């Protein structure tokens, strides 16, 4: 029997292998109800990570989970609830999407964000909660399990055209990352 070998880190190969046309546009930018979710992916020293890849998974505005095909070939009107964005040379990413709804009564709406970057042995999962409803945030079951002094790393900042959510991979104010069974 051969001894186990170490895992390979992901990337950097995103620039030529994974992007596809309009991958960061869950809806067209000119759509009346479109919002922007954007931010920076930062390393432990606070520098932008220039070759990270983020995937966004979200509910529709009515809280339903979309199960429509077509994420890889955008048709301009079908909302699939999934997108992918690469960071630029400064570590910035951006999505054009819709404001997600709560998936159950009283729950806080959120974006599920998956992060891939060089040096990571596996992808990272986190959530970007919307800051608009303090009562829903206080009642959210997952958010309640996070230490009070770390919860703000999971809450996006409201802006006039959407939300800003920075992902800090380590160090001070490191984003809280989630573990799923089997991952």
pLDDT (mean) for 55-73: 89
pLDDT of residue 21: 78
DSSP designation for 13:
-
Q: Which residue has the tokens 């992808």?
A: 123
> Structure pTM?
0.89
pLDDT of residue 51: 87
pLDDT tops 80 at residue 104 = yes
Question: Mean pLDDT score of the chain, rounded to an integer?
Answer: 89
pLDDT of residue 152: 96
pLDDT tops 90 at residue 83 = yes
CA 96 from centroid of its chain's CA atoms: 12
Contact 50, 92 (CB under 8 A): no
pLDDT (mean) for 73-87: 89
Per-residue confidence at 14, pLDDT binned at 50, 70, 90? low
DSSP designation for 17:
H
Contact 108, 101 (CB under 8 A): no
Contact 52, 117 (CB under 8 A): yes
Neighbours of 157 (CB within 10 A): 13
pLDDT tops 90 at residue 75 = no
Which of 9-23, 38-52, 74-88, 110-124 is predicted most confidently? 38-52
**CATH (residue range 14-168):** 2.60.130.10
Q: Which residue has the higher pLDDT, 24 or 18?
A: 24
d(CA 127, CA 145): 13
């Amino acid at each position: 029997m051969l001894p186990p070998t170490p895992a390979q880190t992901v990337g950097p190969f995103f620039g030529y292998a994974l992007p596809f046309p309009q991958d960061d546009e869950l809806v067209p930018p000119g759509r009346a109800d479109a919002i922007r979710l954007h931010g920076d992916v930062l390393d432990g020293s606070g520098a932008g990570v220039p070759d990270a890849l983020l995937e966004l998974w979200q509910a529709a505005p009515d809280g339903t989970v979309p199960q429509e095909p077509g994420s890889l070939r955008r048709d301009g009107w079908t909302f699939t609830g999934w997108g992918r964005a690469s960071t630029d040379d400064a570590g910035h990413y951006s999505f054009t999407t819709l404001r997600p709804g709560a998936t159950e009564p009283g729950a806080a709406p959120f974006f599920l964000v998956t992060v891939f970057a060089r040096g990571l042995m596996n992808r990272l999962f986190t959530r970007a909660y919307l800051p608009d409803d303090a009562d829903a945030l206080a009642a959210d079951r997952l958010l309640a399990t996070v230490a009070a002094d770390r919860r703000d790393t999971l809450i996006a900042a409201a802006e006039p055209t959407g939300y800003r959510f920075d992902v800090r991979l380590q160090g001070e104010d490191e984003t809280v990352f989630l573990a799923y069974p089997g991952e």
